[in-house]
Amino acid sequence: MVIILCNCCSAQSDTYGQAASNLVAGSSLEQTIQQIMDIGGGNWDKETVTRALRAAYNNPERAVDYLYSVSLNPLCSL
């Protein structure tokens, strides 16, 4: 039996693989939290960054997006 995938299916699989490779856990989590705090230039404390990472399912890029969105909109909170 041969399964042929269309281009859209393989693109979705590749996108998922890339997203999964961006996730952090374990010992690299503390380092990632510090790096995000550094990116914020002192605007975000450890608790805020940790909540953003949790909301982003440990995806640092998404967490930074959340943090900047919240920083720009004072009515939002994580």
Range of the domain at 72: 25-78
AA identity, residue 68: Y
What's the structural domain count of the chain? 1
Specify whether the CB–CB gap between 75 and 62 falls below 8 A.
no
Specify whether the CB–CB gap between 75 and 65 falls below 8 A.
no
Specify whether the CB–CB gap between 22 and 32 falls below 8 A.
no
Q: For residue range 13-61, list pLDDT tens digits in order.
A: 454 444 455 788 787 999 999 999 999 999 999 999 999 999 999 999 9
AA identity, residue 47: E
Q: Which two tokens stand for residue 4?
A: 């042929």
| Residue 5 pLDDT exceeds 60 | no
Instruction: Tell whether 20 is covered by a domain.
Output: no
Half-sphere exposure of 34 (CA within 13 A, CB side): 5
Instruction: Tell whether 18 is covered by a domain.
Output: no
